[in-house]
Amino acid sequence: MGAPNTDVIQGTLDMLILKTLSLTPLHGYGIARRIEQVSRGVFKVNPGSLLTALRRLERAGWLDSEWRRTENARRAKYYALTPAGQKRLGEETADWERRVRAVGRLLGAEA
């Protein structure tokens, strides 16, 4: 058996980013690290995918961003959830929970 897959499930990256930013504004590297830490290493976020998602979420009005200094005195773009992003997170979370219940029913069904 090979190594476990650590890719983020397709269609969930936006929700994971929104949830991560609902706690505190972070820069891209911080977002990726938080997702990896909270998932206990189950999910690793590809930097290219993260950047694309952050741009898409910002264009949609779900994130705001500003340039700041990091703890290491480096310049980084920090992202924060907007009120519209908070609403979107609620919608995405409800949809995800609906899908998880459906998969649970399918896995629990006898063949």
Q: What is the mean pLDDT of the chain?
A: 91
Tokens of 72: 């290491």
Chain position carrying tokens 């190594």:
3
Higher local confidence (pLDDT), 97 or 2: 97
Query: What's the CA gap between 31 and 21, in Å, rounded?
Result: 8
Mean pLDDT to the nearest integer, 31-49: 94
pLDDT digits (tens, 9 = 90+) for 51-98: 999 999 999 999 999 999 988 899 999 999 999 999 999 999 999 999
For residues 15 and 89, what is the distance between their CA atoms, to the nearest angstrom? 6
- Residue 45 DSSP SS3: coil
Helices (H), 1-111: 13-21, 28-38, 47-59, 83-108
Q: Per the structure block, which two tokens stand in for 14?
A: 């936006």
Q: Is 79 exposed, middle or buried (0-12, 13-18, 19+ CB in 10 A)?
A: buried
Examine the pLDDT at 4 and tell me if it is beyond 80: no
Domains of the chain: residue spans and CATH: 13-105 (1.10.10.10)
